[in-house]
Structure 1
Amino acid sequence: MIQKRRRSSRRKRTVLLPLILILVVLAIIGACVLFFLHMRNEKEKPSEILKTYLSSIESGDYEKMFELVDSGKVSKKDFIARNQNIYEGIGCSNVKVKITSEEKNQLSYTVTLTTLAGEITYDNTTKVKKDDNKGTILVWDDSMIFPELTATDKVRIYTDEAKRGQILDRNQNVLAGSGSAYSVGLVPGKMNEDSSGDLQTLSSLLGLSTEDIQSELSKDWVTDDAFVPLATISAADEKLQNQLLAIPGIKLSTVEVRSYPYGSATAHLVGYVSGITAEDLEKHPDAGYTSDSVIGKSGLEALYEKQLRGQNGYTILIEDEDGQQKSVLAYQNKTDGETLRLTIDITLQQSLYEQFQKDEGCSVAMNPYTGEVLALVSTPSYDTNRFILGLTTQEWDQLNNDEAQPLYNRFRQTFAPGSTLKPFTAAIGLAEGTLDPEKDYGYNGTSWQKDSSWGDYYVTTLQDYKPGTLQNALIYSDNIFFAKAALELGADRFTDGLDRFGFNQVVPFEIKMSQSQYDNDGSITEEIQLADSGYGQGQVLANPLHLAVMYTAFSNSGSMITPYLIYKDDPSAEVWIDQAISKEHSSLLTEDLKAVVNNPAGSGYAAHRTDMELAGKTGTAELKSEQGTTGQEIGWFSVFTTDPSASKPVLLTSMVESVEDKGGSTYVVKKDAAVLDSYFGS
């Protein structure tokens, strides 16, 4: 028994010895730190200590600030909380100090700092003393923060929120502006004692889990009389409002929200705003955003965020313990956001959306003489107002997993242009002298290959016709004719010609568009690819806006017009590419494009009108996984009014994916014809 006790005693000593050693080491380290601080502070001048103290405000190192002062009876915890709440609350940055007087026991200095309300400058004095542990330190009280501040005072910041600017169409219809909604919340004291069933019903109506609702109700600040917000709902949804109000404890409070009156029709163009995130705050540290701000997340809301948001007004002041104002430290007037007026015609925008809303495609409408963009539509789309009210997880998943990709902005992308490229292949051939517009190039049939070196690959076309002239090739949209035209040009002249039409260039426009291309690697090296490229396939990809701008050459004697989106009171054309086509060849090709729409045999005849003259070109591009196979078809139609004195001149380019079972490009032509009926009739 004695032996066992002795062993036990040894084990205790064995355990205690390392603990004692650790404590001794920690004590030595602590002593060394204090000694280091003491020696450092002894050596440093008081003015340097003050500069270190004030520079620590920007870095948020309040613990370091505490080590440099004698805070009296104020604890470290309270010191840090007091300084942090004030400096971070006013958005303090760019702290600068100028020492004006340095005496043995006192420093006089001037501080300048930047806040949300602008710059604050003040003169101050601080006493200096020796401390046995810290060495030379500053004597701190609340007046070190601001000279007039006492321990019982509070620094307040009041915000006068700037009104976000509206986005308007050309006729000043509101596309984005202020609206109202209902904040749905619970008042705990008015809920049923057994609220489990009510919470289940509420969960179902709002798309929230009961756990999320309980979590909000359990927060520290919640009292029986408090309004605990849970979700925001549309002010127009009366059915949902009545269902919610039937639940005991539910209260609806009117709130102002960003509103998009045309919803899905303008979603990809206008975009939406959302509550700011921590990442957003990191990206814009000095822009005046707070955790309660909203920020543009997509579309024009994001592109013109700086102009639309404006600047909040702020007042920073000191209040005494009774809430009475002692002094104003800084004041900044609010500046409301700018109003953004667009060239968009919402009537045309809506009409295009309604025609194509179930299709995967996009449309661009322009005034071909001024460059004003009248419509930019991508379909299918989504309701931007749902983002403002707050999407449920289920709604977000549905949008992201939808095979039709409603979140995908198609008018910014590139697609195979098909036969809409043929007029430009012709223009290059005419310019290079390899194509004669009057020549009959003979009968081609509906299937052709250059020679046996192409193996089993043939260029095919849908219609047989005679004579084989340029105009007929455009009317009947003959692939073989333009494959031959590209081969006659050769790859270098063909691609140089496309470069002159703006391929591989950024279209000068407010919204960045993907660049059109004729090859994935920048040059065409294979003969079959060159032949396919002549009629808009191969690896040719065109952006819809760029393609529309190319067609403006037929309205402007061969020059391509710069597109623009911000409204001008006195619109005038600005040339992007001068004489992309010669005046003579532009006139000749325009006559051919008139025939495409007005000749009963023309591929665009479904858009023919008796009240005005139109010209245009259809296009069907087949997406093949490899040569000789079949695949998805993309349908196009570019159409424009030919009379410059028309009351509503317009150029319209539309694209629809997967038209192989819908009638090909004729499907697009008919829908554009319906849009033009509505547009000219309004």
Structure 2
Amino acid sequence: MPLSDLDSRAARGEDKVSTVKLHAVQYVIALIVLILMTGLWRLQVLGASNYRVLAEANRVRKVPILAPRGKIFDREGRLLVDNYSSVAAYLLREQMQNPETDLPMISVGLNIPIEQLQYTLRKYKLAPKYQPIPLKQDITPDEQAFIEAHRNELPELETIEEQRRLYPRDGFASHLIGYVGEVSEQMLNQERYALYSPGDVVGKSGVEQSYDALLRGVDGSRDVIVNSHGRELGRLGEELAKPGQDIRLTIDLDLQMAAEKALEGKNGAIVAMDPHTGEILAMVSRPNFDPNQFAVRLTRNYWNQLLTDPEHPLLNKAIQAQLAPGSTFKIIMSVAGLEEGTAQDLKVNCTGGADFYGHFFKCDARHGGVNIYNAIPLSCDIFYYTLAQKLGIDTIAKYATELGLSQRTGIDLPEEASGTMPSTKWKMKNFHDKWYAGETISVGIGQGAVAATPIQMARALSGVASGGALVRPHVLSMDQIPESMRQAYVEAFPGSGEKKVSMRAENWQIISDAMAETMNTGTASLAHLDGVDFAGKTGTAQVMSHDALARSGGGKKTQPNAWFVGMVPRRNPDIVVAALIENGEWGKYSAKLAAQVITAFIDKQRKKDNNLRVAEVKPKPTEETPAKPEQKPEQAPSAAVPEKPRSISGAGN
């Protein structure tokens, strides 16, 4: 084509197509640049704070600082429960890259079955991923060394220092103190544990459970700088943990030791209480368990051993054993008979047994003439069979209920049992049947459907001996609970609490005098204490009928339960003790156990009296050594001068 033709076509604008393409490319490039700039702006400006947090997370790790639980002391400030330093292994899921490869190595290094590791991961599946998962408490130095040596391969493993519970040895006061453990899934569903997280350690029984909110404390945390392998490079700061509150119990260590020793080798319970205040001075249940086994990681074997033990070592028999109280119930029968005006003139001739409603009921001996004044020391069944027949079941139930049976006492320990007091209404409600008069006879001696706990019987006795004043038992000194929380704790442990039962003075004095005679010439004379105004009542409660006993062929488990409730002094007592030996045969044996606790109490009171006398002696000035006004005579330090105790009638010095 001639050159002139090309020039002419260019002149006509035929190259405009190329210009449009050029402009289009320019617009596309501009759009791409705009998109990139917009994205960059979003990253640099709008998302700056978010990515800054993510970046910090890659190099800063928040390590929890676990708060130590408060220590537990006895009433005189002697340590019962302490803590010890420990190291635990935790798993940081954010750092775990390959679970299939890492878990077998962790299993070998920490001596944890791989099935257990897999279960733990499933258990915490729904928990926030940043939350450390506890793998093993109280790890050994070898296991710590394993974690340190494998920081590069296993950056998800972390060690955390914490305080673990240290309980007394040999299960001392185990039911009273309780134990701690990891919060369960069932507990997390309860409103009380709404603020807890999986892996938290909580009280699971006894004082540990009742006062967990005081003992627990508040966890802190520490921010540490780590590299890509999780190795700590430095620290940015920390929020210190707030330790839990130390608490002081009403328990007297000396009396607790005496009660523990008395019940050693037996199954049952002993509880000692101050009837003026409701303070529990000692509480023992046998068989017991070792709470230290729960403080780290409970083994399946030990747990199965506790669950399958026929003697129920996890049961606090002082507040949960619901058993027929036997002849200790005759105290309540005496109250009912005297208050109703029936027992004052009642006289029976005990020949070893009698017929009631066509059935023959035995007595343990031939007592001859019996009245209200010697019925308690002799523990004559015939007298109380007759009294029960005259009173009727509903009158008996009325007084028993007023004195706290068939209802919780309100003691500040978990899962207190309420017991049973039968009546016509009770039987119709539970068995849809009427009450037969013949059933009342056995109730008169604390058998039949009657069931009570040792703490109920101790409280009922103290109420009778104090003229009808019943108190709420408690194991924590009330000044340890913040004022704002006291009402909540009272409501958390429902029961009959403090109350006043109407009782004529001459009636409860007759009963307390008769109980004092029980310790001199009656059924508990083996537990008599010279010079001590000791009053009490034995109880021998059958665990099966005479016919069933004859068919059983005998054996330890067929022996009656042995009960005793006693007090010092006989009126307005300073201490009341209830003792139960399961299958202990006779109540006089339980009386001897209670006497050991009473002896420890008396010895301690006498020692305090002697110390007070020494502290109060002031040397008189003489002419040779005149006293200087500015100087004081020597005396014991104020901390060593105990508060003057209440008098103990007849206790001597």
- What TM-score does the superposition give when structure 1 sets the normalisation length? 0.63
In structure 1, the residue corresponding to 2:266 is in which secondary structure? coil
* 1:447 equivalenced with 2:353 (yes/no): yes
Shift of 1:642: 1.2
Distance 1:301 1:151, change over 3 A: closer
In structure 1, the residue corresponding to 2:462 is in which secondary structure? helix
AA aligned opposite 1:359: K
Q: Distance in 2 between matches of 1:324 and 1:255?
A: 21
Q: Distance in 1 between matches of 2:182 and 2:248?
A: 24
Shift of 1:209: 9.0
Q: Distance in 1 between matches of 2:169 and 2:48?
A: 51
Distance 1:485 1:401, change over 3 A: same
Q: Distance in 1 between matches of 2:176 and 2:256?
A: 10
Equivalent of residue 386 in structure 2, options 464, 473, 484: 484
* 1:309 equivalenced with 2:216 (yes/no): yes
- The residue number in structure 1 matching 2:469 is 559
Are the counterparts in 1 of residues 402 and 501 from structure 2 also a CA contact under 8 Å?
no
More helix by share: 2
In structure 2, the residue corresponding to 1:383 is in which secondary structure? coil
AA aligned opposite 1:443: N
Shift of 1:603: 0.6
- The residue number in structure 1 matching 2:205 is 298
Are the counterparts in 1 of residues 373 and 514 from structure 2 also a CA contact under 8 Å?
yes
Q: Distance in 1 between matches of 2:192 and 2:236?
A: 28
Higher relative contact order (CA 8 A, sep 6+): 2
Equivalent of residue 537 in structure 1, options 422, 443, 447: 447
Are the counterparts in 2 of residues 608 and 614 from structure 1 also a CA contact under 8 Å?
yes
AA aligned opposite 1:422: K
Count of aligned pairs? 488
Are the counterparts in 2 of residues 417 and 621 from structure 1 also a CA contact under 8 Å?
yes
**What does 1:123-522 align with in structure 2 at a 5 Å threshold?**
146=49, 149=52, 152-154=55-57, 156-180=61-85, 232=138, 256-281=163-188, 283=190, 289-314=196-221, 334-413=241-320, 414-436=322-344, 439=345, 441-450=347-356, 453-454=357-358, 457-511=359-413, 512-519=415-422, 522=426
AA aligned opposite 2:426: G
Q: Distance in 2 between matches of 1:408 and 1:145?
A: 59
In structure 2, the residue corresponding to 1:375 is in which secondary structure? strand
- The residue number in structure 2 matching 1:670 is 592
Instruction: Point out where structure 2 has 5 or more consecutive residues left out of the alignment.
Output: 1-34, 90-107, 120-133, 150-159, 428-433, 481-495, 551-557, 605-653
* Cα deviation digits, residues 575-597 of structure 1 (max 9, x gap): 82213432221111111111111
Q: Distance in 2 between matches of 1:632 and 1:590?
A: 29
* Cα deviation digits, residues 420-463 of structure 1 (max 9, x gap): 01011111111111211xx461312111112xx42xx3221112
Equivalent of residue 576 in structure 2, options 651, 654, 663: 651
Equivalent of residue 582 in structure 1, options 465, 486, 504: 504
Distance 1:434 1:259, change over 3 A: same
Distance 1:157 1:624, change over 3 A: same
More strand by share: 1
Greater displacement, 352-361 / 253-262: 253-262
AA aligned opposite 2:597: V
In structure 2, the residue corresponding to 1:564 is in which secondary structure? coil
Could you tell me the percent identity over the aligned residues?
26
Shift of 1:332: 6.2
In structure 2, the residue corresponding to 1:674 is in which secondary structure? helix
* 1:607 equivalenced with 2:527 (yes/no): yes
Shift of 1:395: 2.6
Shift of 1:486: 1.0
Q: Distance in 2 between matches of 1:667 and 1:673?
A: 10
Q: Distance in 2 between matches of 1:513 and 1:459?
A: 34
Query: Cα RMSD over matched residues?
Result: 4.4
Distance 1:425 1:315, change over 3 A: same
Shift of 1:352: 1.4
Are the counterparts in 2 of residues 553 and 581 from structure 1 also a CA contact under 8 Å?
no
Q: Distance in 2 between matches of 1:364 and 1:150?
A: 58
Are the counterparts in 1 of residues 88 and 161 from structure 2 also a CA contact under 8 Å?
yes
Q: Distance in 2 between matches of 1:312 and 1:604?
A: 54
* Cα deviation digits, residues 288-340 of structure 1 (max 9, x gap): 54555312122121222122111112467999999999999xx8664321222
Q: Distance in 2 between matches of 1:286 and 1:495?
A: 39
In structure 1, the residue corresponding to 2:370 is in which secondary structure? coil
In structure 2, the residue corresponding to 1:467 is in which secondary structure? strand
Shift of 1:567: 1.3
Shift of 1:401: 2.0
AA aligned opposite 1:638: V
* Cα deviation digits, residues 21-45 of structure 1 (max 9, x gap): xxxxxxxxxxxxxxxxxxxxxxxxx
Q: Which runs of 4+ in 1 moved over 6 A?
A: 138-143, 181-184, 208-216, 228-231, 315-328, 643-646
Are the counterparts in 1 of residues 224 and 233 from structure 2 also a CA contact under 8 Å?
no
Are the counterparts in 2 of residues 267 and 382 from structure 1 also a CA contact under 8 Å?
yes
Shift of 1:159: 2.9
AA aligned opposite 1:581: M
In structure 1, the residue corresponding to 2:578 is in which secondary structure? strand
Shift of 1:624: 2.0
Are the counterparts in 2 of residues 174 and 261 from structure 1 also a CA contact under 8 Å?
no
Shift of 1:272: 0.7
Shift of 1:507: 1.5
Shift of 1:281: 4.6
In structure 2, the residue corresponding to 1:448 is in which secondary structure? strand
In structure 2, the residue corresponding to 1:655 is in which secondary structure? strand
Are the counterparts in 2 of residues 308 and 339 from structure 1 also a CA contact under 8 Å?
yes
Instruction: Point out where structure 1 has 5 or more consecutive residues left out of the alignment.
Output: 1-104, 106-126, 130-137, 185-202, 217-227, 235-240
Distance 1:333 1:288, change over 3 A: farther
Shift of 1:128: 11
Distance 1:264 1:327, change over 3 A: closer
Q: Distance in 1 between matches of 2:48 and 2:422?
A: 64
- The residue number in structure 1 matching 2:603 is 681
**What does 1:9-88 align with in structure 2 at a 5 Å threshold?**
none
AA aligned opposite 2:467: S
Q: Distance in 2 between matches of 1:508 and 1:535?
A: 26
**What does 1:1-12 align with in structure 2 at a 5 Å threshold?**
none
- The residue number in structure 1 matching 2:513 is 591
* 1:634 equivalenced with 2:537 (yes/no): no
AA aligned opposite 2:84: G
